[in-house]
Amino acid sequence: MIIMTLAYAQRTNDNAYLSQHYKILKQWNEYLVQEALIPANQISTDDFAGALANQTNLALKGIIGIEAFAQIANRTGHAADGANYTQIAHNYITQWETYGINNATTTPHAELSYGNASSYVLLYNLYADAELGLQLVPQSVYDMQSAFYPTVFNTYGVPLDTRHTYTKNDWELFCAAVASSSTKAQFIPTIAKWLGETPTNFAFTDLYDTITGDYPTSAIFIARPVVGGMYSLLALNSAPSSGYVTPN
């Protein structure tokens, strides 16, 4: 919600809306300060995948949320809050790189969970950093993931993580949107290939197996609103070149 709220304000310049909801936004942000860096055993938005502690991608989203709130504070005359929370976010992202990235391999990449060296994950929450123009996450992380994804493609895409062979095409497009041109050019045609060959027989699904192209055995998703993620590349056209604002 914090990320979405800042995205709205950036595109409308409606800082009055931010002021109106500042108290509850700060309350949510305080939760992130306490919980984001070391996530407890919990589900993520991909709840069908099950609960897991120390999720690298979930932690990233929380840290970006803290920096997003810092910019909300700057936009609403709360300069001290802005300075405090941006310092926390930058401190956290440095620690996050240490905890969640496997550098001891020929193709470094983000792990599914901290310390799980044999795992990987679609790092789709990286998209929020670019969408908001925060430049919180080092460019080296973007480049690292762009170089890694081509090494783990199956016939119809990159698995959501190493627990299963299924993926979500909305999250694949989030990853493609912030990837290099060559990696982007691999994601998009592969998803188009899946759409042309999938044996699924209902309206567009966002969850499918990257090997068979069919529904996974665990769930059948049909025409869900999340397929709007297909427009993630277009949404970046309205992203600010820099999301940092001087405190009011």
Ranges of H-type helices in the chain: 2-12, 15-20, 22-35, 56-75, 79-100, 126-131, 139-148, 169-177, 181-197, 232-235
Residue 248 lies in a domain: no
Residue 215 lies in a domain: yes
* Mean pLDDT in order along the chain per 10 residues (248 residues): 98 97 99 98 91 97 99 98 98 99 97 97 99 98 99 99 97 98 98 96 94 89 94 93 84
Q: What is the CATH number of the domain that holds 127?
A: 1.50.10.10
Q: Which helix (H) or strand (E) holds 78?
A: none
Residue 66 lies in a domain: yes
Residue 80 lies in a domain: yes
Q: What pLDDT sits at residue 246?
A: 84
Structure tokens at 170: 């909305």
Q: Which domain holds residue 33?
A: 2-238
Considering its fold, how many domains does the chain have in total? 1
Residue 21 lies in a domain: yes
Residue 204 lies in a domain: yes
Residue 247 lies in a domain: no
* Number of residues assigned to the chain: 248
Q: What global pTM score does this model have?
A: 0.96
Q: What pLDDT sits at residue 244?
A: 84
Q: Are 108 and 148 in contact (CB under 8 A)?
A: yes
Q: What pLDDT sits at residue 241?
A: 86
Residue 206 lies in a domain: yes
